[in-house]
Amino acid sequence: MSDNTATTTHSTTGEKAKGARTGEVATAGRDKTIKVVVSYVAKHPKYGKYVRRRTVLHAHDEGNQARVGDRVEVVPCRPMSKTKSWKLSRIVEKHLED
């Protein structure tokens, strides 16, 4: 049996996990749940103008460590509730309070 010690997570190596998305925490008021807004730019199919779009994801935050304004990475997981099927992978950047 080989000694497989490659148990490092994607968050420590700097690689992006499969299916991971990066967004900003919009709300963090609920226990162990955060709402992450993923913003992107898409080209309009008819007019060709670039428009801003967003996707709202509900993610599981086990330790309640993410705060509003933090930039976080979430990965897909099994459905935990009706709307929550993402899990907090890591906090990319903390929000600076004024």
Report the CATH number that the domain containing residue 33 is assigned in CATH. Answer: 2.40.50.140
Closest by CA position to 19, among listed 77, 70, 71, 65? 77
pLDDT at 97 (0 to 100)? 76
Residue 85 belongs to some domain of the structure: yes
4 pLDDT higher than 50: no
The residue with greater pLDDT, 41 or 8, is 41
pLDDT at 7 (0 to 100)? 37
What whole-number distance in Å separates Cα of residue 68 and Cα of residue 38?
14
Residue 32 belongs to some domain of the structure: yes
Structural domains of the chain, count: 1
pTM of the predicted protein model: 0.79
Residue 80 belongs to some domain of the structure: yes
Residue % of the chain over a pLDDT of 90: 78
Residue 71 belongs to some domain of the structure: yes
Q: What mean pLDDT comes out for the span 34-51?
A: 97
Residue that has been written with the tokens 């900003």 in this structure: 24
Residue 59 belongs to some domain of the structure: yes
- Containing structural domain, residue 40: 18-93
Q: E strands along the chain, which residues? A: 21-27, 33-43, 50-60, 71-76, 84-93
17 pLDDT higher than 50: yes
Q: Are 26 and 36 in contact (CB under 8 A)?
A: yes
